[in-house]
Structure 1
Amino acid sequence: MQPYFFPYIGYFQLVAAVDRFVFYDDVNFIKNGWINRNRVLDGERNRYVTVPLSGASPSLKIRDIAVQPREIWLRKMLESIRHAYAKAPHYAAVSALIEQCLSAPVAQISALASRSVVDVCHYLDIDTAFVPSSTQFGNSELKGVNRVLDICAKERAGIYVNLPGGRDLYDDATFRSNGVELAFVEPNLSAYAQFDHAFQPGLSILDVLMFNSKDRVRAMLSVEARS
C-alpha cells in the first residue's frame, strides 16, 4: 500500500492482518488522495487536515516529494486537532502521539506518512514489520501484478493480503500459479460514540483513537483475511 497520512481504520485492519507490510513509496504521487491528508471530526461534520507539500506532481514518486517547513503548518494543524478533540476521552495521550510524529525530522512526505502509520502501531502494540519498496527490492522497473509477485517471491510470502479494491486488479489463478494465496481484508467500520453527534465513519485513525481505549481499538482491528 502507498503510505497514507494517519489513514482510516481499514488500513490498520490490513496492517494488523499481516506479518510484513510493504510501503509502496516509489510509485507516482496521487493528488487529492490520502498520502498527505485525512479527515477529522469538525462538530457534526468532517474536514481535512493536510500536510502542505513542495512541488507535488503526479509525475514524481512519493518518496521524492518534500514536506513544506513545519513552521508554516504544524502549529495550525495541532491547534485544529485540539479544537476538534480537546474534550475527547483520550485526547491527552493521542495528542502527544500526534505531536511526536509530526515533529520528527523527516523531509519527504513518504517518510512522514509512513511514520504516522508506524507510530500508531507502536502506540497500539502492533508488531507488524514494515518494509519500504524503494530500498528493499530493486524491482522498480516491474509494474502491476508482476512487481507484487516479485516482492512476494523475495519475501518468501505464502499469502498476499490486500484491501477489497485489489479484487479488480489481481487474479487468484495468477497468484496460485506462483505459489501465493491471494486474500483480502474487508474493512469493518463499526460505529462508536463521537461526542453526541451522528456517527461519521471512515475518518482518520486519529478519530478512532480519540474516542476509544487501546484495547478497544485493538479489538476493532481484528478482521480476518479471506480468499
Structure 2
Amino acid sequence: MRVAIMQPYFLPYIGYFQLMGQVDCFVVYDNIKYTKKGWINRNRLLRNGEPVTFSLPLAAGSDALDIRDRHLAQDFNRRKLLAQLTEAYRLAPQFPALKAWLEELVLFDENRLFDYLLHSLRQVHSRLALSCELRVSSSVDADHELRGQERVLAICKALGATTYINPTGGVELYEPAAFAAQGIELKFLKSTLPTYPQGPHPHVPALSIIDVLAFNDLPTIQDMLNRGFVFH
C-alpha cells in the first residue's frame, strides 16, 4: 500500500497530481492548521505569457482554526473567478472541452473551505482518470494529536502503508530510519515540470493544473503524470 498525505490546495500544479498517480491512497488533511502563506486557497494562471495569482477569499477566522473550520467569504464571487479563468484560457486548444467542467467546479455551492477544495480535487482526480483512493485525514483511525513525522507515521500505520511518498520539499522533515523501523519505505517525488506549448510565449512552469488541462489532451497529460518526475 503506497500512501501520500498532503494539505488541500486549490487547483494545484501538476506535481500534486503526479504524486496522486503514484500512490494507492492519497490522504488530504482537513484537521490541520490553515497557513496564510501557502497555496491552500490560491494558485497561478497564465495571462499574456505571464503568471498571475488567483485566489479564494476567506471569511475572517482565528489563526488557530483548522482548515475544515475555515469558510469562504460571503462575498466570494464564483462567476468572477470563472470569468477570470475563462478569459485567460478561452483561446487554448482544449478549453472548449474544459469549459462546462470548469464551470461546475468553480460554481460549486459550498462555503466550507475544505469541502470546496476537496470537491475540486475530486473533480480533477476524475478528469485525469487517476485511480488512487482519496481519503480525508480525520476519517483515518489514528492519533491526530501527534504532530509532524509522528502523525504521518500514525496515519500510515493505520492504513497499512508499506511505502510513504512525499514531495521532495519534505526531505528535511522525515527520517528514513524512523519509517524503516515501522516497516515503511520512505520515498520522495520531484516533479520535472514537463514543458508544453502555451501559445506564442515562452513556457511558464508550475502553474495551476488548469493550465495543463487547457493546453494538452488527456493522453499527453497522462504521459506527464506517469513520466514527468524522478524519485529521490
Q: Give structure 2 stretches of 5+ with no counterpart.
A: 1-5
Partner of 2:196: 192
Q: Please give the secondary structure, in 1, of the residue aligned with 2:226.
A: coil
Partner of 2:167: 163
Mapping 1:2-21, distance limit 5 Å:
2-21=7-26
Corresponding residue pairs, total: 226
Question: What do you get for the CA RMSD once the two structures are aligned?
Answer: 1.5
Scaled by the length of structure 1, the TM-score of the pair is 0.94
Mapping 1:98-117, distance limit 5 Å:
98-117=102-121
Q: Please give the secondary structure, in 2, of the residue aligned with 1:130.
A: strand
Instruction: Write out per-residue CA displacement over residues 152-186 of structure 1, whole angstroms, 9 at most, x where no aligned residue.
Output: 11100000000001110001111000110001111
Within 2, Cα distance between the matches of 1:157 and 1:104? 33
Partner of 2:135: 131
Moved over 4 A (4+): none
Mapping 1:12-161, distance limit 5 Å:
12-69=17-74, 72-161=76-165
Q: Please give the secondary structure, in 2, of the residue aligned with 1:147.
A: helix
2:142·2:155 contact (CA, 8 Å) conserved in 1? no
Q: CA deviation at 1:137?
A: 2.7
2:82·2:106 contact (CA, 8 Å) conserved in 1? no
Q: CA deviation at 1:56?
A: 4.1
Q: Please give the secondary structure, in 1, of the residue aligned with 2:26.
A: strand
Scaled by the length of structure 2, the TM-score of the pair is 0.92
Q: Please give the secondary structure, in 2, of the residue aligned with 1:221.
A: helix
Q: Give structure 1 stretches of 5+ with no counterpart.
A: none
- AA in 1 matched with 2:223: A
Partner of 1:216: 220
